[in-house]
Structure 1
Amino acid sequence: MSDLAAARPGLRTLAALWPFITPYKHVASAAIIALLLTSGLTLSLGQGVLLLIDDGFISGSLTQLNQTLLLMLGIIVVMAIATFARFYWVSWLGERVTADIRQAVFDRILTLHPSYFEENRSGEIMSRLTTDTTLLQSIIGSSLSFALRSLVMLIGGLVMLLITNFKLSLVVFGAVPLVLLPILILGRRVRKLSRASQDTVADVGTYAGEIIQQIKTVQSYGRQPFEQQAFSREVERAFSVARKRILQRALLLATVILLAFTAIGVMVWMGGYDVITGQLSGGELAAFVFYAIIVASGVATVSEVMGELQRAAGATERLTELMNADSLIKDPSTPAAPESDATDYVAFNEVSFCYPSRPDSPALSGLNLRVRRGETIALVGPSGAGKSTLFELVLRFYDPQSGHIKLLNTDIRSLNLSELRTRIAWVPQQPTLFSNDVWYNIRYGRPEASDEDVIAAAKAAFADEFITRLPEGYSSFLGENGVRLSGGQKQRIVIARAILNNPDLLLLDEATSALDAESEFQVQLALDNLTRERTTLVIAHRLATVRNSDRIVVLNEGKIVAEGTHDALLSSSPLYQRLAALQFNEGEQPA
């Protein structure tokens, strides 16, 4: 299981929410004042009941009865206003804090190194960003308020019990420890099951997201029945854990109610005996019962909300883990500036690298390569030779374990990530588009660009013609990952994005290898415009690419085994001969 899945918290974990609440301490303070006011007014109603019975009903004084009722009515009106204020401020605080937490988590996610997402499933991360933050909104916006109010009422009720009748209060005080004991014991179980329940729900979302993303593959192989059964198992596993959590919470609530109201029953019997024997007035007994019920209700509410707070502790811990995740790729504390007049644009010096998920399998081993300004270098080699790894290291998605990479004679680890990456445009073999319109997708690397600049880039990428034929032109929504476009059209949108970004260094993972002849021709024309007067590294799968390059570098098992022109390599490199025969339909056939 991923490092996201480890669990440890208690309610102390909720302290991690405090930095998000403090910016709104004035709202929180106002909500607490309103909460204390409503609690105090509610407790004062007990004295109103005492006066109503003893000075109104029993004494037979109509004047006293009217005065007492008017006083209680005034208290109720003020309570209603204070309750409105408390509910509004607490709900506002819950929504505001949740929005801030969600933003903070998302901001953190965007800074994490790519290998983090290899080790942790995207569905689980999304569950934390959505489900867990929504749970916290419910807790901060309602449950926490109820818990505080119930706690204040519980303490206030106990004080009023002592004031009203000391002997009967001993019964209540004796019952409180008996009620708190199951809260402490069962509460731990609820917390553990709450965390497990949230993890299994994340598993369900992850599984469903993967299947939906690969729906064409699932349907083409007729695997719908299998996936339905597999998803059913995930759902049932989540339900099983949730059922155990619900059982523990129900047991906790039932135990608290049983003990609390049993104590009230004993107390009422004793109070009734004292009223009959003249040791206690009817008003005092009614007031005492009123406070006892408030105390019992407070204990029951606290025990119920405790389960919600345990779930919030689990959610907070999961979010805290994400916000505290350390990125392996960071900006330097003292960034350097590249040398603008350097001859080599990129240089690899004794670079060795293993992916974190494959520490015993080197992707590059002692690699040396220098790329001059304005030079176009084609990278060729069998699958797994390290071609794409070079791109990922130049972009600092990873850092090599040994050696260093220089951009304009400056180690890229000494550059700010923004300084490095704004100089580079990466055109992957599988184009990446966003669920938005054409304007947004082309502008993605340069959002401040004018409409005229976007159109000019699209024309240079030979994309303007098909864009203008879309239902809404450049304002057309492209669907998830550009699902409404063909492969060649998507590639030209991505190339237009790179052209608009106007980079110094291009990283092209041969963008035409999976296209039909017509689309390949259009994309190749766009690439010719893109690479003009720029330093370019291109992973080559087509003969046209290698013939147009200044130099061809042949890689195998993470090392450079040959370099030169196409014709020279055909006569000097057996590996290149085989690659040429297989990929380019050129040279000798492999033996």
Structure 2
Amino acid sequence: MNSLFSRRQRQAIRLAASFVSPYRWQVAGALLALVVTAGITLSIGQGIKMMVDQGFMTQSAALLERSIGFFMLLILGLAVGTFMRFYLVSWIGERVVADLRRQVFDHLVELHPGFYESNRSSEIQSRLTADTTLLQSVIGSSLSMFLRNALMVIGGIVLLFITNPKLTSIVVVALPLILAPILMFGRRVRTLSRESQDRIADVGSYVAEALGQIKTVQAYNHQQQDKARFAQTAEQAFDTARKRILQRSWLITLVIVLVLGAVAVMLWVGGMDVINGTISSGELAAFVFYALIVGMAFGTLSEVIGELQRAAGAAERIGELLAARNEITAPSEGCLRLPPRVTGHLALEGVSFAYASRPERNALDNLTLTVEAGETVALVGPSGAGKSTLFDLLLRFYDPQQGRILVDHVPINQLDPRDLRRCFAQVAQSPALFIGSVEDNIRYGNPDATFEQVEAAARIAHAHEFILEMADGYQTRLGEGGIGLSGGQRQRLAIARALLVDAPILLLDEATSALDAQSEYLIQQALPDLMKGRTTLVIAHRLATVQNADRIAVIDQGRLVAIGTHAQLIAGNPLYARLAALQFNAGKDTVG
């Protein structure tokens, strides 16, 4: 087995075995049924011997009937055993893959966002679907076939020796010739199977990317280029699969030639022995049956081993996901707890942070900022200044390389991330909405909220009216990303969701700059209720938000360059004054 599978693949197989082990009784039942059916199949050879020697050769009707009756009992037992084996093995395959998918998803959904910067979500999706489906096929079918045919080979060879040792020696001599190509081609199939799964993942990734951005694709008339690129990706997948199929085809062909060639030689020798009266016709018939059983079992094993190697590659890929380490976790020792409701005091002390994909440039550089409980602070600065990064660090999607962040004077890296994030509500620039009803989306952060609370939040967010105009009101199903809703409607649903969470700290990436005047007016009406009594950090895009803030923090190239009121910064900070001047002179309400 070690020669068939690499160390990493053996680890992957052990991973799959760990998912099977909780169902040991079902496995035991399946193995029992498998042994019984294999035994019955091998016993059919004795039934054939009885029919030939006691039925046909004696020309006795009674003996023929008895041998036929024995043969029918074997067939009935085989049918019942096969039913049990097929049902239990298929059940185990489906159950294990359902457990595996759940565990992989549970692990993935907890991983830090940085993991998804270096791993394509579409490839992960392929691993979670295509690879687990392959495992289901193997656990629910191929593995059973492997075990059954392995038993048939072992049992068949034993019965061959019992029936006729001389003829069996021919089969035994052929075994090394059969095993050699299995080992030689098996290694090639294993490597190509992993490559094939990777190419399939590439196909899935390209489909998800192109169809997920279909409006952009069609707006730029990019269909032909995408068709050409997809065709190239699909051809690469086909070419890898073709190489894998070619190796497996050679493997199967060689096994058939060698096995049936050995059977042909054995038939010639056995036929001469029957002619010479050394053995009976029934013995030869039984021997031919066992030889064919062993030969077909070897042929099936050569096919199934290819499937098992593909499954080992799939399990290896899934194992890589499960082995991915979450870099944002609660401390193993000395984990602190926040009170049920924090005051909302925030402090960033000398925080420096660079993304792993851009380590040479700090997104935040020695930034120090204190926000008092209940205070509203607007963050202003050019695009790429680090404002959104600051939000990500507050939510502890990443940890800074230097400095520390405190909530109510408690360092956030000493907290459980769940305990920290319950203190925040976020309204993003492009609100994330999910497939489900309007009510489900508003209740997203507070699953236990009543419908009355959902409706009250929607009213405050000025979303109630447009929700009632929808086909099924609050039960209207939204498409992926809230497709079909305007930007203002999505934003108001996000505000209602944040209201329902009722967190003491609000992170507001105000996305009113791209909205029409009516939507902007309604959202501006909803914001005071949302911000009331909460510590609020606002990435400012509208002058009204900046002017209403208690303080304005000007950030440039990751550094805090000034902080004060609108009037103070106009007078004392050139960058803020320039941004404000550009805004006024252009007649637009855009600050950063």
Q: What TM-score, normalized by structure 1, do the two folds share?
A: 0.97
The AA in structure 1 aligned to 2:138 is I
Alignment map for 1:36-435 (pairs within 5 Å): 36-333=35-332, 334-338=334-338, 345-435=345-435
Matched, 1:578 2:573: no
Cα distance in 2 for residues equivalent to 1:13 and 1:475: 44
The AA in structure 2 aligned to 1:57 is F
Q: 1:519 to 1:342 in 2, by over 3 A?
A: closer
Q: 1:49 to 1:183 in 2, by over 3 A?
A: same
Question: Alignment partner of 1:59: what SS?
Answer: coil
Cα distance in 1 for residues equivalent to 2:43 and 2:159: 9
Q: How far 1:12 sits from its partner (Å)?
A: 5.6
Cα distance in 2 for residues equivalent to 1:471 and 1:62: 79
Question: Alignment partner of 1:444: what SS?
Answer: helix
The AA in structure 2 aligned to 1:69 is I
| Residues 144-186 of structure 1: per-residue CA shift (max 9 Å, x gap) | 1111100000100000000000010000011111111111110
| Residues 208-245 of structure 1: per-residue CA shift (max 9 Å, x gap) | 11111111111111111111111111111111111111
The AA in structure 2 aligned to 1:542 is R
Q: How far 1:511 sits from its partner (Å)?
A: 2.3
Cα distance in 2 for residues equivalent to 1:373 and 1:562: 20
The answer (yes or no) to whether the contact 2:9–2:315 under 8 Å persists in 1 is: no
Structure 2 unpaired stretches of 5+: 1-5
| Residues 260-296 of structure 1: per-residue CA shift (max 9 Å, x gap) | 1000000000000111111111111001000000000
Q: How far 1:586 sits from its partner (Å)?
A: 9.0
The answer (yes or no) to whether the contact 1:339–1:409 under 8 Å persists in 2 is: no
Q: How far 1:584 sits from its partner (Å)?
A: 5.4
Q: How far 1:55 sits from its partner (Å)?
A: 1.7
The answer (yes or no) to whether the contact 1:11–1:310 under 8 Å persists in 2 is: no
- Cα RMSD between the aligned structures? 1.8
| Residues 299-340 of structure 1: per-residue CA shift (max 9 Å, x gap) | 000000111111101100000000110011112224202368
Q: How far 1:60 sits from its partner (Å)?
A: 2.3
Question: Alignment partner of 1:404: what SS?
Answer: strand
Q: How far 1:61 sits from its partner (Å)?
A: 2.3
The AA in structure 1 aligned to 2:437 is D
Question: Alignment partner of 2:398: what SS?
Answer: coil
| Residues 492-529 of structure 1: per-residue CA shift (max 9 Å, x gap) | 00110000000110001112121111111111111121
Q: 1:8 to 1:467 in 2, by over 3 A?
A: farther
The answer (yes or no) to whether the contact 2:344–2:374 under 8 Å persists in 1 is: no
Alignment map for 1:442-453 (pairs within 5 Å): 442-453=442-453
- The residue number in structure 2 matching 1:468 is 468
Cα distance in 2 for residues equivalent to 1:144 and 1:209: 32
| Residues 399-443 of structure 1: per-residue CA shift (max 9 Å, x gap) | 000111001110111111111111101111011100111011001
Number of matched pairs: 584
The answer (yes or no) to whether the contact 2:353–2:402 under 8 Å persists in 1 is: yes
The answer (yes or no) to whether the contact 1:49–1:286 under 8 Å persists in 2 is: yes
Cα distance in 2 for residues equivalent to 1:341 and 1:483: 35
The AA in structure 2 aligned to 1:358 is R
| Residues 17-49 of structure 1: per-residue CA shift (max 9 Å, x gap) | 111111111001000000000000111111111
Question: Alignment partner of 2:382: what SS?
Answer: coil
- The residue number in structure 2 matching 1:24 is 23
The answer (yes or no) to whether the contact 2:363–2:389 under 8 Å persists in 1 is: yes
Q: 1:478 to 1:563 in 2, by over 3 A?
A: same
| Residues 364-415 of structure 1: per-residue CA shift (max 9 Å, x gap) | 1111111110000000011111111110000000000011100111011111
Aligned sequence identity (%): 54
Q: How far 1:558 sits from its partner (Å)?
A: 0.8
- The residue number in structure 2 matching 1:497 is 497
Cα distance in 2 for residues equivalent to 1:581 and 1:240: 60
The answer (yes or no) to whether the contact 1:24–1:93 under 8 Å persists in 2 is: yes
The answer (yes or no) to whether the contact 1:511–1:523 under 8 Å persists in 2 is: no
Q: 1:132 to 1:343 in 2, by over 3 A?
A: closer
Q: 1:343 to 1:153 in 2, by over 3 A?
A: closer
- The residue number in structure 1 matching 2:3 is none
Question: Alignment partner of 2:190: what SS?
Answer: helix
Cα distance in 2 for residues equivalent to 1:8 and 1:310: 13
The answer (yes or no) to whether the contact 2:446–2:501 under 8 Å persists in 1 is: yes
Q: 1:177 to 1:519 in 2, by over 3 A?
A: same
The answer (yes or no) to whether the contact 2:495–2:530 under 8 Å persists in 1 is: yes
Cα distance in 2 for residues equivalent to 1:142 and 1:75: 23
- The residue number in structure 1 matching 2:541 is 541
Cα distance in 2 for residues equivalent to 1:506 and 1:12: 46
Q: 1:342 to 1:49 in 2, by over 3 A?
A: closer
Cα distance in 2 for residues equivalent to 1:384 and 1:373: 27
The answer (yes or no) to whether the contact 1:378–1:553 under 8 Å persists in 2 is: yes
The answer (yes or no) to whether the contact 1:349–1:405 under 8 Å persists in 2 is: yes
Question: Alignment partner of 1:92: what SS?
Answer: helix
Cα distance in 2 for residues equivalent to 1:341 and 1:439: 25
Q: 1:344 to 1:13 in 2, by over 3 A?
A: closer
Question: Alignment partner of 1:515: what SS?
Answer: coil
